[in-house]
Amino acid sequence: MKTIMQTINPESFRDEELEEVCRILQKGGLVAFPTETVYGLGGDAMHPEASAKIYAAKGRPSDNPLIVHIADMDALEDIAQSVPEAAVKLADHFWPGPLTMIFPKKEAVPKSTTGGLETVAVRMPSHPVARALIRESGVYIAAPSANTSGRPSPTKAEHVKEDLDGRIDMILDGGAVGIGLESTIVDLSTGVPTILRPGYITGEMLEDVLGEVQVDPAILSQKMNPNIVAKAPGMKYRHYAPKGQMTIIEGDTSKVVDEINRLVKEKTDEGCSVAVIATEETKDAYACANVRSVGSRATEGSIAAGLYDILREMDHIGAEYIYAESFEKDTLGKAIMNRMLKAAAYHVIKV
Ligand code: TXA
Ligand code: MG
């Protein structure tokens, strides 16, 4: 299959520019498109075959459910069996935006979209292209991140092309996304609202609106724990991982720098290809040929936005060993470290 590349300017585009992409979605085809979090791989959520094609294109296990993207609250009537008061409050505050909520599903939502579950994940994105696409096509768009299963999520159209060229109908290139980490997922289908995946909307922000919010224990664990099963099926898989072996070094900055420099020398002396994931503040402190700055510690948002691009770059460099600094695990740092720990398969050295 030839994948059509189409560029679109999110700040100024005409709805007519979306005619072809809408036709593809309406016919059950697959389209990658920008959202404010990461690029999504979209298909018609109410069309079982479109969902099946999404799993095939990504190489994704079919028990890992998709998020349904909507453009207005009325859509919930077609998708969710019931909408609790808490969800209406969260929607008031955070939709459109990087928040996904889990509801009991309506019969009409195919099980192939929900990975066999009786619940459905729903998000109303704020990105103007994503919103226009849902509105103009009249399709509720099932969209996982537009990467090959297991690889870092795409924050640029080039990342999508790298993974899915020839496997999907179209890539809509709207430039780099703003946030760079996937949406926060909150389960509202049982008792106390529970965070299943941390993201840009933090636990504190949710608590300000709802009062008590729980966190799925699988997110808090510092290592793979076979006894704790993640409630979001996707969170149980190895993910975001570069091909090289990644290790996170935790501790005071000067000790971290010393330890990384020691490890770099050890592996370089063995003849291995080594890279360091540093920050603007520390990038000059390393004696290594491949030092990449992920962003500035002064703005956590820059680190979130840069992380997946840097993880992909580790493969372009051909790094066999990757040593990364770590970040505070509060607010947005919780989401950043959640992704980094998975990328490192929970290899952490404390200094
Ligand atoms: O920001 C995002 O959420 C992006 C953009 C494209 O919207 N999408 C995204 O989708 O990250 P994906 O498929 O890569 O991640 C969806 C996550 C998976 O971990 C999946 O297991 C979980 O959501 N999920 C989906 N439906 C669920 C359900 N009914 N119950 C529990 N977890 C669910
Ligand atoms: Mg994903």
pLDDT tens digit string along 20-30? Answer: 999 999 999 99
Counting from 1 in the atom list of ligand 1, the atom nearest the Cα of 120 is: 29
From atom 31 of ligand 1, which residue's Cα is the shortest distance away? 232
Ramachandran area for residue 206 (φ above 0: left; ψ -120 to 50: alpha; else beta): alpha
Task: Lowest mean pLDDT of 43-47, 161-165, 223-227, name the range.
Answer: 223-227
All residues at 6 or more sequence positions from 256 whose CB lies less than 8 Å from its CB, including other chains: 249, 250, 325, 326, 351
Average pLDDT over residues 65-84: 97
The helix (run of H) or strand (run of E) holding residue 340 is helix 331-343
> How far is it, in rounded angstroms, from Cα 137 to Cα 10?
17
> How far is it, in rounded angstroms, from Cα 168 to Cα 263?
41
Q: Is 35 in the pocket of ligand 1 (CB under 6 A)?
A: yes
From atom 3 of ligand 1, which residue's Cα is the shortest distance away? 183
Q: Is 196 in the pocket of ligand 1 (CB under 6 A)?
A: yes
> How far is it, in rounded angstroms, from Cα 185 to Cα 48?
23
Q: What is the mean pLDDT of the chain?
A: 94
| CA 204 to ligand 1 centroid distance, Å | 21
Counting from 1 in the atom list of ligand 1, the atom nearest the Cα of 145 is: 14
**Is residue 247 a contact partner of residue 275, using CB atoms and an 8 Å limit?**
no
| Residue 222 confidence class, pLDDT cut points 50, 70, 90 | low
Q: Is 102 in the pocket of ligand 1 (CB under 6 A)?
A: yes
**Number of other CB atoms surrounding residue 111 within 10 Å:** 14
| Residue 190 confidence class, pLDDT cut points 50, 70, 90 | confident
Structure confidence at residue 256 (pLDDT) = 97
Residue with tokens 């079919």: 62
Residue with tokens 């840009």: 200
| Residue 167 confidence class, pLDDT cut points 50, 70, 90 | very high
Average pLDDT over residues 279-308: 97
